[in-house]
Amino acid sequence: MSNSRIKTPCIGLCSTVYGDLVCRGCKRFHHEVVNWNLYDDAEKRAVWQRLESLLVQVVAAKLEVFDPQRLRSQLEQRQIRFVERQSPYCWAYQLIARGARMIQQLDAYGIALLPEFRDSPLPLLRDAIDREYFLLSEAHYERYIAPRFLIEGVEQRV
Q: What is the pLDDT of residue 15?
A: 87
Q: What is the pLDDT of residue 17?
A: 80
Q: pLDDT band at 41, cuts 50/70/90? A: very high
Does 4 score more than 70 pLDDT? no
Mean pLDDT of 1-9: 64
Q: pLDDT (tens digit, 9 = 90+) per residue, 98-137?
A: 999 999 999 999 999 999 999 999 999 999 999 999 999 9
Q: Is the pTM of this model over 0.75?
A: yes
As a whole number of angstroms, the distance between CA 39 and CA 113 comes to: 37
Q: H or E element: which one contains 137?
A: helix 122-140
The strand ranges marked E within the chain are: 63-65, 111-113
Identify the burial level of 137 via C-beta atoms within 10 angstroms of its C-beta, where 0-12 means exposed, 13-18 middle and 19 or more buried: buried
As a whole number of angstroms, the distance between CA 138 and CA 130 comes to: 12
Q: pLDDT (tens digit, 9 = 90+) per residue, 63-99?
A: 999 999 999 999 999 999 999 999 999 999 999 999 9
Q: What is the pLDDT of residue 7?
A: 86
Q: What is the pLDDT of residue 5?
A: 60
Q: What is the pLDDT of residue 24?
A: 93
CB contact at 8 A, 14 and 21: no
Q: Where are the domains of the chain?
A: 3-157
Q: What is the pLDDT of residue 6?
A: 77
Measuring CA to CA, how many Å separate 30 from each of 42, 46, 51, 82? 18, 15, 14, 23
CB contact at 8 A, 94 and 128: no
As a whole number of angstroms, the distance between CA 16 and CA 1 comes to: 28
As a whole number of angstroms, the distance between CA 21 and CA 16 comes to: 6
